[in-house]
Amino acid sequence: MKVKVISRSTDEFTRERSQDLQRVYHNYDPTLRPQEKAVEYVRALNAAKLEKIFARPFIGAMDGHTDGVSCMAKNPNYLKGLFSGSMDGDIRLWDIANRKTVCQYPGHQGAVRGLTVSTDGRILVSCGTDSTVRLWNVPVATLTESDDSSDNSAEPLAVYVWKNAFWAVDHQWDGDLFATSGAQVDIWNHNRSQPVNSFQWGTETVISVKFNPGEPNVLATTASDRSIVLYDLRMSSPARKVIMRTKCNSISWNPMEPMNFTAANEDCSCYSYDARKLDEAKYVHMGHESAVMDIDYSPTGREFVTGSYDRTIRIFQYNGGRSREIYHTKRMQRFLHSLVYFIYLISSVLIETWFL
Amino acid sequence: MDELVYSVEKLNTEVRETVRDVVFLHNELFFAAAQKKYPYIYNRDGTELHCLKEHGAVLKLQFLRNHFLLASINKSGHLHYQDVTMGEMVGNFRTGLGRSDVMQVNPFNGVIALGHSSGTVSMWKPTTSAPLIKMLSHQGPISALAFHPNGHLMATSGKERKIKIWDLRKFEVLQTLPGHAKTLDFSQKGLLASGTGSFVQIFGDLSGSQNYSRYMGHSMAKGYQIGEVLFRPYEDVLGIGHSTGWSSILIPGSGEPNFDSWVANPFETSKQRREKEVRTLLDKLPPETIMLDPSKIGTVRQARKKEKPTKEEREAEMEAAVEDVKSITMKKKTKGRNKPSKKAKKKQELVVKAKRPFLEQQMKEQALSKKKQKTREDVELPSSLQRFARKKTT
């Protein structure tokens, strides 16, 4: 009887020359790989973590302003265009794709506090601490692309001087009215040098103002007396008011569900409200470690981005209590009121740009 | 195996004290030895790297390769799990079943089995302080324990001269073999080696129906006391450790002939070994993945039970059934028996018949809820006060 026993010769199982590849043998018997399912699970988890570590959300910095950037606005008709205003009164139009200044708008004395673009994308409205509202012509997109010459400056279409310094401005989504805030809320028309309407509730400074994207006559403001006030332009007086425990620095409407808005509060969290039911917040978004300075919704209305005094940017789900993503870099500083974050979400690819 | 024994020999000459057990860590460069007072970790050259004082006087050591856990059972019956990558003590449990020097890890799911002097086998995982399973398997103390590499078979031997083979899916005895075994081991191909005194026996599942019968036997020179038998993986070799050293014998058909270079490579170069170390460290499993049924990992939890239909839904269903009955056209009967009144009566009967199952269901549920309420009422009063409760007028 012949009995066979395993015997392996080294020559058979190793490479002949040192330049050869190592020989590889496979045996797919599951008993050789115990707990394979758990191992695969851990591998998938590690791969997801590594992908997050190596993701690079920072696209690039745009250099040019000589002082801190205080406000930004995006052009609703031309996604490559981005306006920014700085503390020294300088307003620039940027081409995000090329990261270059397309146009400069000199004129403001003192800080620019608010920027907004009309719905058709033709007119830029700016306001500042020098108590002026300036209207500017936005160059047509095709022209700016063909024009590769150095920075060209523009003259304002109109300059309206008013009684007090301004803190914020927002344009109606559908119409030609815009609202400024400061000591009171003023509603302006493009063609008139005086506000067409003024609202006041209390004597405190109104910090931010935002028009409702669905209902063109409704706007929300936050004031330094810790209040959030809703206005309706068809009525002569403010509509609703909520007093919070701490001040709200900024407010943003959900563009897809325009009855909902989210307020960025000093107490490190954001509060989402239903405008029809202001007695309690629908969601509280926690996570920041310092006052939330600004907030902006993504065009899909599913997420929003917040910037905080703790030098981080966070992305929240519209209904999520905790942030989905945190970004921070060394260069981000604690600029009080002057750092405004801005985000584009284009088909789930995150293009993010921040200014210092 | 050769190397292990070689190291132990060398160690014995070096440490000059009892070494109760040795176990390799994730590769052949490191091994742990359970010595008189504490377990120690040595490298290949015999240099002491660590002294694991928290484990105490350890009787038996096991290493969980996928989890990088070193498990030990000490003299006072404490089971310790230590993560050898970070040195963290993952688990420290009092077995409460006395001194035990029989410990084996199930390679299939990483569960550790301990054999106790009461004849019970207990199975442990590092995340719970109570045993997963406690099974009374022998009348007397358990002397040895071994797991089949596929994890479904376990062999135990007791001092009452019986070897039992268990099916771990049903926790039932498959087979009881006569004879005593001081040590047991399964080979990669499923042969079972048992050693007692100076005699080694090999049992084999020769028919393929999980019916183990004697395959080979080997008797050593008289007076040799066998301490441990261990199959060498990927070789047809059985190593026997006994009172005067160690021997190895050939057992044809015991080892896996085809190795996988990515799992265990007998011809591994040092570069490949280094790469493998990094890869296995990346794939290190958390201790929570040790469970009796590892196929649960990566599955979705079953959906909740279907909710009861609401009242409206139930009514709509009943309505539909009634409509169905009503729309049946009656057969024409012979003259005189085809009266419209009879037809209407018949139809009415059918409607009642269609409604009945729904109404019965409703009644049953009502009765059930009433019963529940009743029991709740009963629960509210302590038994001593129930005699003062108002008698129900029914």
> Would you list the DSSP string of A93-122?
EEETTTTEEEEEE---SS-EEEEEE-TTS-
Average of per-residue pLDDT across A100-118: 89
**Are the CB atoms for B164 and B178 separated by under 8 Å?**
no
CB–CB contact A42 B284 (8 Å): yes
**What pLDDT was estimated at residue B93?**
94
Decide if A39 and B252 are in contact by the 8 Å CB cutoff. no
* Arithmetic mean of pLDDT over chain A: 83
Closest CB to A35 among B66, B263, B269: B66
Distance CA A202, CA A238 (A): 11
User: Does residue A191 lie in a domain region?
Assistant: yes
Write out the H or E segment, with its range, that includes residue A50.
Answer: helix A36-54
**Average pLDDT score over residue span A63-92:** 83
Asked, for residue A346, whether it belongs to a domain, the answer is: yes
Do B44 and B159 reside in the same domain of the chain? Answer: yes
Query: A88-102, A260-274, B365-379: which has the minimum mean pLDDT?
Result: B365-379
Window from A140-149, A232-241, B175-184, B221-230 with minimum mean pLDDT: A140-149
Report yes or no on A150 lying in a domain. Answer: yes
Q: Would you call B235 an interface residue with chain A, using a CB distance cutoff of 8 Å?
A: yes
The dihedral sign for the CA sequence A159, A165, A171, A177:
negative
Q: Which of B260, B284, B295 sits opposite A27 (nearest CB)?
A: B260
Q: Which two tokens stand for residue A21?
A: 């590849």
Q: Note whether A38 contacts B285, CB cutoff 8 Å.
A: yes
Our CA-based measurement puts residue B272 at a distance from the nearest CA of chain A, in whole angstroms, of 9
Smallest CA–CA distance from A15 into chain B, residue: B267
Specify whether the CB–CB gap between B198 and B223 falls below 8 A.
yes
Structural domain includes residue B138: yes
Report if residue B339 sits inside a domain. Answer: no
B195 touches chain A (CB under 8 A): no
User: Touching check for B281 and chain A: CB below 8 Å?
Assistant: no
Contacts of B107 in chain A (CB under 8 A): 31, 34
Q: Which of B37, B46, B48, B107 is nearest to B72 (CA)?
A: B37
Q: What is the ipTM of this complex?
A: 0.73
Q: Shortest CB distance from B272 goes to which of A22, A30, A31?
A: A22
Distance from CA of B300 to the nearest CA of A (A): 13
Cα gap A6→A115, rounded to integer Å: 81
Q: What is the pLDDT of residue A330?
A: 61
Q: For A108-113, what is the mean pLDDT?
A: 90
Residue of B nearest to A2 (CA): B252
Greater confidence (A190 vs A57) lies with: A190
Distance between CA atoms of B64 and A175, rounded to whole angstroms?
71
For residue B263 the two structure tokens come to 């799992």
With respect to residue A54, please indicate whether it lies within any of the assigned structural domains: no
B179 within 8 A of B201, measured Cβ to Cβ: yes
Among A5, A23, A41, select the one facing B236 at the smallest CB separation.
Answer: A5
Lowest mean pLDDT among A66-75, A182-191, B126-135, B145-154: A66-75
Task: Tell me, yes or no, whether B106 and B36 share the same domain.
Answer: yes
Q: Using the beta-carbon criterion (under 8 Å), do A34 and B269 form an inter-chain contact?
A: no
Q: What is the CA radius of gyration of chain B?
A: 33
**Nearest residue of chain B to residue A7 (CA atoms):** B235
Task: Compare CB distances from A31 to B149, B255, B266 and report the shortest one's residue.
Answer: B149
Is A241 contained in some domain? yes
Query: Does B362 share its domain with B266?
Result: no
pLDDT value, residue A331: 59
3-state secondary structure chain B: CHHHHHHHHHHHHHHCCCEEEEEECCCCCEEEEEECCCEEEEECCCCEEEECHHHCCEEEEEEECCCCEEEEEECCCEEEEEECCCCCEEEEEECCCCCCCEEEECCCCCCEEEECCCCEEEEECCCCCCCCEEEECCCCCEEEEEECCCCCEEEEEECCCEEEEEECCCCEEEEEEECCCCEEEECCCCCEEEEECCEEEEEECCCCCCCCEEEEEEECCCCCCEEEEEECCCCCEEEEEECCEEEEEECCCCCCCCCCCCCCCCCCCHHHHHHHHHHHHHCCCCHHHCCCCHHHCCCCCCCCCCCCCCHHHHHHHHHHHHHHHHCCCCCCCCCCCCCHHHHHHHHHHHHHHHHHHHHHHHHHHHHHHHHHHHHHHHHHCCHHHHHHCCCCCC
For chain A, the domain total comes to 1
CB pair distance less than 8 Å for A24 and B261: yes
Q: Is position A201 within any domain?
A: yes
The token pair that represents B250 in the structure block = 């050939």
CA B109 to chain centre: 6
State CA A147 to chain mean position distance: 29
Domain shared by B212 and B355, yes or no: no
Distance CA A178, CA A168 (A): 11
Q: In what order do the strands lie in the sheet with A91-95?
A: A69-74, A81-86, A91-95, A100-105, A152-153
pLDDT, position B382:
74
Helices vs strands, H then E, count in chain A:
3, 28
- A57 token code pair: 């959300």
pLDDT value of residue B2: 41
Higher-pLDDT residue of A356 and B291 is B291
Question: Does some domain include residue A264?
Answer: yes
Q: How far is A43 from chain B (nearest CA, A)?
A: 6
User: Whole domain around residue A223: which residue ranges?
Assistant: 74-353
DSSP letters spanning A216-276: TTEEEEEETTSEEEEEETTSSS--EEEE-SS-EEEEEE-SSSTTEEEEEETTS-EEEEETT
Indicate the SS3 state at residue A179.
strand
Q: Which domain CATH number covers A248?
A: 2.130.10.10
Question: B310 CB near a chain A CB, below 8 Å?
Answer: no
CA dihedral of B199, B121, B169, B21, whole degrees rounded to 10:
-60
Which value, to the nearest 10 degrees, does the dihedral of the CA atoms of residues A104, A105, A111, A115 take?
A: -100
Q: Are B283 and B349 in a shared domain?
A: no
Question: B34: which residues sit within 8 A by CB, 6+ positions away?
Answer: B19, B20, B21, B22, B58, B59, B60, B61, B72
Say if B232 falls within a structural domain: yes
In a domain? residue B229:
yes
Tell me phi and psi for residue B311, to 5 degrees.
-60, -40
Task: Judge if B254 and B321 occupy the same domain.
Answer: no
Taking the C-alpha atoms of residue B151 and residue B157, their distance in angstroms, rounded to an integer, is 17
> What's the pLDDT at B62?
95
Name which of B254, B260, B276, B281 to mutate to probe chain A: the one with the most chain A Cβ atoms within 10 A of its Cβ: B260
- Our CA-based measurement puts residue B248 at a distance from the nearest CA of chain A, in whole angstroms, of 14
Whether the CB-CB separation of B198 and B183 falls below 8 Å is answered with: no
Of the partner residues A4, A14, A37, the one whose CB lies closest to the CB of residue B297? A37
B116 & B237 share domain: yes
Q: Which residues of chain B have pLDDT under 70?
A: 1-14, 376-379, 391-394
| Identity of the residue in B235, B259, B267 whose CB atom sits nearest the CB atom of A10 | B267
How many domains does chain B fold into? Answer: 2
Query: Which among A25, A30, A39 is the nearest to B285, CB-wise?
Result: A39
A253 falls within a domain: yes
Count of CB contacts below 8 A, A vs B?
89
Answer whether B270 touches A (CB < 8 Å). no
For residue A235, the model assigns a pLDDT of 85
Per-residue pLDDT at A119: 86
> Is the CB of residue A226 less than 8 Å from the CB of residue A245?
yes
Contact B122, B97 (CB under 8 A): yes
* Residue B98: inside a domain: yes
Whether residues B260 and B317 share a domain: the answer is no
Q: How far is the alpha carbon of A4 from chain B, nearest alpha carbon, in Å? A: 6
Q: For residue B334, is it within any domain? A: no
Q: How far apart are CA B142 and CA B8, in angstroms?
A: 26
The answer to whether B336 contacts chain A (CB < 8 Å) is no
Helix axes B340-380, B311-326, angle to 10 degrees: 160
Helix (H, G, I), strand (E, B) or coil at A198: strand
CATH number of residue B71's parent domain? 2.130.10.10
Q: Which residue of B has its CA nearest to A47?
A: B282
DSSP A88: T
| pLDDT, tens digit, 9 for 90 and up, residues B163-211 | 999 999 999 999 999 999 999 999 999 999 999 999 999 999 888 888 8
Long-range contacts of B7-10 (CB under 8 A, 24+ apart): B7/B31, B7/B42, B7/B44, B7/B46, B8/B33, B9/B245, B10/B46
Q: Is B257 on the interface with A (CB under 8 A)?
A: yes
**Same domain? B251 vs B319:** no
Which of A35, A40, A43, A46 to probe by mutation at the B interface, max B CB count within 10 Å? A35
Dihedrals phi, psi of A39, to nearest 5 degrees: -65, -45
Residue-range definition of the domain harbouring residue B363: 311-327+344-373
